[in-house]
Structure 1
Amino acid sequence: MGKVRVAGFGVSLDGFSAGTDQSLEYPLGKRGPEIFQWFFGTKTFRAMHGQPGGSEGIDEKYAFRAMDGFGAFILGRNMFGPIRGEWPDDQWKGWWGDNPPYHAPTFILTNHPRDPIVMQGGTTFFFVTDGIESALEHAKTAAGNLDVKIGGGVSTVRQYLRARLVDEMHLAAGPVLLGQGENLFAGLDLSALGYAVTSMEQSEHAMHVLVTKQ
């Protein structure tokens, strides 16, 4: 069976992994894109958007790893879209258009039931209403021998870390201070939870840190 991983997760120097006021205009929150500057220029990111070229090197290595080897994904409701509360209709199908970048079963944590959505490219969105453990059980079954990615957002990653369900986490710490937003580390004692830094590699745009469960 594969690992449960967080990968390619951007974080500011003051611990924020999303900006404030997420909306259609600001999917990552205001100033949120600043913590992903290491990612946007990579070959992997450009290929995800049907564009040629892109950077090689350290950032590309971690960008590729952030999308490779996964048989299923888990996302929080806010990662799927800006809609809150009951689903008003079936029109919203995610930020990514008809062919999302997951290409695998993707489980959305929500309090509001919804039928699965089959998208192009192998992505099917499933909506899980009975908690993080249930979503992980479904994801592991779907992934088989491949890994499961906890794709975010911040609250979802924090819940899985607090429950010690994450085996490995790759953080890309960018040289920016957000000052406000969603803080990944607030109230979390990762050391007490049994996590430790096991490697670090520096690029021009980010410090790539691997944190693993001991």
Structure 2
Amino acid sequence: MSRTRVHNFTISLDGFATGEGLSAEQPFGHAGHRLHQWMMATAFGAPIMGLPGGSSGVDNAFAQQHEPGIGAEIMGSRKFGPPGWQDDPNWRGWWGPNPPFHTPTYVLTSRPRSPLEMEGGTTFHFLDAPGAEALKIAQEAASGKDVRIGGGPTMLRDFLAAGLIDHLHVVQVPVLLGRGVRLWDGLEGLEQQYQVETVSTPSGVTHFTFSR
């Protein structure tokens, strides 16, 4: 049976998954790349960022679970682009001509547009649909494989509140952002629906795995 999975979703010590002031120049606002330095240092993450090398330790073992068994992805509007991207007909996402998804990828937006076919097997589809309906569409496209929920935090929070997530991997990094968009607001008692495991690594991050 197809599962709904989240991988490498990173938050600060105070629970923020993105900073304030998102723009085309600052995809994560004032947070910059501080939330994701742990992944950029791994053998999985370094090539995605165009960096050499990368570690092969525990962080890498978690990071590389992002890809196996995934047949489709769903992401929120603000993950696909900065505020106002809907007004730019030439906007094709942050990731260049060959995005790192390699599957049908569904972008939830109140202003749908025609599908956007990219290199490497990624096609962006733009949906104005509630999470449960979008998930059914993505599961059909995944052909029995799992569906990855890519964020951002507002969309992921909605999916969690609706009970649509089967596997959740959250990484807490030793950074205090103070402002931005938090993940956990309104999700009191969520842990009771899952088996929760934690692993701390020498990089200073803690991996939380929520398994239904």
TM range (shorter): over 0.9
Of residues 184, 193, 199, the one that matches 1:201 is 199
User: Does the Cα contact within 8 Å between 2:76 and 2:109 map onto a contact in 1?
Assistant: yes
Moved over 6 A (4+): none
Q: Cα offset for 1:113?
A: 1.7
Q: Cα offset for 1:38?
A: 1.1
Cα 1:198–1:55, aligned 2, differ >3 Å: closer, same or farther?
same
Q: Distance in 2 between matches of 1:199 and 1:89?
A: 42
Q: Cα offset for 1:6?
A: 1.1
Partner of 1:102: 101
**Aligned partner of residue 30 in structure 1, secondary structure:** helix
Q: Cα offset for 1:28?
A: 1.4
Partner of 1:4: 4
Partner of 1:75: 75
**2:193 maps to amino acid:** Y
Cα 1:7–1:109, aligned 2, differ >3 Å: closer, same or farther?
same
**2:174 maps to amino acid:** P
Identity %: 40
Partner of 2:152: 153
Q: Cα offset for 1:98?
A: 0.4
| Alignment map for 1:31-42 (pairs within 5 Å) | 31-42=31-42
Partner of 1:114: 113
**Aligned partner of residue 74 in structure 2, secondary structure:** strand
Partner of 1:137: 136
**1:180 maps to amino acid:** R
Q: Distance in 2 between matches of 1:124 and 1:94?
A: 11
Structure 2, unaligned runs of 5 or more: none
**1:107 maps to amino acid:** Y
**Aligned partner of residue 145 in structure 1, secondary structure:** coil
Structure 1, unaligned runs of 5 or more: none
The answer to which of 109-118 and 66-75 deviates more is 66-75
Q: Cα offset for 1:146?
A: 1.5
Q: Deviations over 1:10-59 (max 9, x none)?
A: 01111111111110111012115212121011111123345542111111
Q: Distance in 1 between matches of 2:143 and 2:199?
A: 30
**Aligned partner of residue 129 in structure 2, secondary structure:** coil
Partner of 2:53: 53
User: Does the Cα contact within 8 Å between 2:39 and 2:46 map onto a contact in 1?
Assistant: no
**1:196 maps to amino acid:** Y
**Aligned partner of residue 210 in structure 1, secondary structure:** strand
**Aligned partner of residue 152 in structure 1, secondary structure:** coil
Q: Deviations over 1:178-211 (max 9, x none)?
A: 111111011211437x433421111122101101
Partner of 1:186: 185
Q: Distance in 2 between matches of 1:183 and 1:208?
A: 17
Aligned residues: 211
| Alignment map for 1:160-171 (pairs within 5 Å) | 160-171=159-170
Partner of 1:91: 90
Q: Deviations over 1:55-94 (max 9, x none)?
A: 1111101110123321100010000001438x33420000
Partner of 1:27: 27
What TM-score results when the alignment is normalised by the length of structure 2? 0.93
**Aligned partner of residue 26 in structure 1, secondary structure:** coil
Partner of 2:14: 14
C-alpha RMSD over aligned residues: 1.6
Q: Cα offset for 1:142?
A: 1.1
